Amino acid sequence: MHYQRSLCNTVIGIVLIGFVATAHGGPAETRYQYSTAVQEITQLYWLAETAYTCGWATREEADEFEAFAVRFLSAHLSRIYSAALHSMIREAGFRPAVQRVAYENRSYNCGQARWKRGWTSFKSAADENAARY
């Protein structure tokens, strides 16, 4: 379990840095590989669901953030990869699985200031760029 948390912390940290840097003026022509987009959308959904589970966000805020994350990543994917990403998200088990992970790990994650700061930073970047994506 500790290994999974450490790995998750590292990956989330890398994604947070990349997301915020791109959202704050990164090149518009940046293109993601599909595997990277899948990893990022999963982590961004996890962050939104964790924020909701921990009470840092309302259901509506988490949903809006997830919708922004999809729009943002889709804007940086080829058409075929964007369609594949949308298809993956619409799969019946995707969102419930992310929600379950956030819920099952709430006792640990809700006490972590880095996740709350991460949520606040990401939500702010999403709000600032909502009209752009």
In a domain, 103, yes or no: yes
pTM to 2 decimal places: 0.76
In a domain, 94, yes or no: yes
Domain count, the chain: 1
In a domain, 24, yes or no: no
Q: What is the pLDDT of residues 51-103, one digit of tens each?
A: 999 999 999 999 999 999 999 999 999 999 999 999 999 998 999 999 999 99
DSSP string, 24-90: TT--TT----HHHHHHHHHHHHHHHHHHHHHTSS-HHHHHHHHHHHHHHHHHTS-HHHHHHHHHHHH
In a domain, 40, yes or no: yes
Task: Give the rounded percent of residues in the chain with a pLDDT score beyond 90.
Answer: 74
- Based on the number of CB atoms within 10 Å of its own CB, is 16 exposed (0-12), middle (13-18) or buried (19 or more)? buried
Torsion sign across C-alpha atoms 19, 24, 26, 28:
positive
Rg of the chain over CA atoms, in angstroms?
Answer: 14
